[in-house]
Amino acid sequence: MPLLVMKFGGTSVADLARIRNAAEKVRREVARGYDVIVIVSAMSGKTNELVGWVEQTSPLFDAREYDAVVSSGENVTAGLMALTLQEMDVPARSWQGWQVPILTTSAHSAARFTDIPRANIDAKFAEGFRVAVVAGFQGVSAENRITTLGRGGSDTTAVAFAAAFGAERCDIYTDVDGIYTTDPRITEKARKLDRIAFEEMLELASLGAKVLQTRSVELAMRYKVRLRVLSSFGETDEHSGTLVCDEDEIMESKVVSGVAYSRDEAKMTLVKVQDRPGIAAAIFGPLSEAGVNVDMIVQNISEIGNGGAVTDMTFSCPTNQVARARKAMEDARAAGLIAYADLVQDTDVAKVSVVGIGMRSHAGVAATMFKALAAENVNIKVIATSEIKISVLIDRKYMELAVQALHDAFELERG
């Protein structure tokens, strides 16, 4: 029989009524002739509660025991979902990560898949079971310990199962009815997309869109897993939601598909840093070792001073990593790796980006973007580009205005 993977997030299984609602959607797909692998998250709020218990019990916790506790939320949901399906006369069985087994690395709370053997679940399908309900977010290491994949790991679990089992499609059920041109909370003109290319979705996810976890989109793009994002609430059919697919499946791409934003950005500038071969490595090596996620990088024109050539080096990073970045730079200076006059930080900025695979074949996107921002008196602090993306750092107070202006400038409300 054809196989479908269906993933339900925490809000979709928040209580027994919502679990029944999700189970009804699974039952309908079984009635259409599919075998189904259901991936479930913990009930809404449960993971935060479990994490809180661990931190209260042991502030310097053992990561192996952390994973053992935090993964239990998905196990509860999987069992309840299987029981609900059985009450609907749908042959279903629940699976925890170690039972599949979902094989992962040993990096607790940040594990990655190494293999998902099919034999055990295939055997159950052969016995007449129609649904395998799998606890998302978890696996088992080579040391036979429970591991977790990090926040959003259930999305990645769903895509990995779809790839491993050759599923026709992977449906991600959530609390929104698809992927929009931008956040509908910022502009009511935001339009739901029928289709979006993997590359565009990956950029949007990495730039701040919260609908899909970045790792899940990376995995889907690598294995060509067709993703559909749709709402758990209300009626759905084969045309519901947004399909994330290969670029070849999209007839005509708009130049810009969406506008993304991130509030929690900071801009840091090393003033009068030495301008010499290897200085970039001397700066960004320690930042990487400190776990600082550097995004935009801008180097000014070199100036010749008494001590030789100097320049300003600016980079952006998440606001919660500013202290770590400052310490890494101060330690590098103390160790004699770099020299600079000052380190200036601005934690009151936001990143706004336009994304679209149509940029590859159309000129003038940057000009349109910059004119739209200039018309609203929005000053650009830093610019970064890629083949299908242009991002700018601006004052945070202008973020919503910038998103609305760019959405209008590229006429994204039009289908």
User: pTM score, two decimals?
Assistant: 0.84
**DSSP-assigned letters across all residues of 154-174:** HHHHHHHHHHHHT-SEEEEEE
Q: Which helix (H) or strand (E) is 284 found in, with range?
A: helix 279-289
Written as six digits, the tokens of 100 are: 């599949």
- CA–CA distances in Å: residue 147 to residues 49, 136, 160: 18, 11, 16
d(CA 222, CA 158) in angstroms, rounded, equals: 14
Task: Return the pLDDT at 206.
Answer: 78
> pLDDT averaged over consecutive 10-residue blocks of the chain (415 residues)?
94 96 96 97 94 93 95 97 98 97 94 96 96 97 94 91 96 91 91 92 79 88 94 83 88 84 93 90 94 90 74 93 95 93 94 91 90 96 90 95 96 87
Q: Determine if the peptide bond prior to 2 is cis (ω within 30°).
A: no
d(CA 325, CA 349) in angstroms, rounded, equals: 16
Burial class from Cβ neighbours inside 10 Å (0-12, 13-18, 19+) for residue 320 reads exposed
Task: Return the pLDDT at 208.
Answer: 65
Tally the C-alpha atoms within 13 A of residue 340's C-alpha that lie toward its C-beta.
26
Task: Return the pLDDT at 214.
Answer: 86
SS3 category, 330: helix
Could you tell me if 178 and 243 are in contact, meaning their C-beta atoms sit under 8 angstroms apart? Answer: no
Could you tell me if 41 and 108 are in contact, meaning their C-beta atoms sit under 8 angstroms apart? Answer: no
Residues 6+ apart with CB under 8 A from 32: none
3-state helix, strand, coil in the chain (%, to 5): 40, 25, 35
Residues 6+ apart with CB under 8 A from 43: 10, 13, 14, 15, 73, 76, 77
Task: Return the pLDDT at 102.
Answer: 97
What are the phi and psi torsion angles at 201 (to 5°)?
-65, -35
Task: Return the pLDDT at 299.
Answer: 87
Task: Return the pLDDT at 250.
Answer: 81
- Within 10 A of 312 (CB to CB), how many other CB atoms are there? 20
Q: Show the CA angle centred on residue 165, arms to residues 160 and 171, nearest 5°.
A: 60
CA dihedral 81, 87, 89, 94 (to 10 degrees): 30
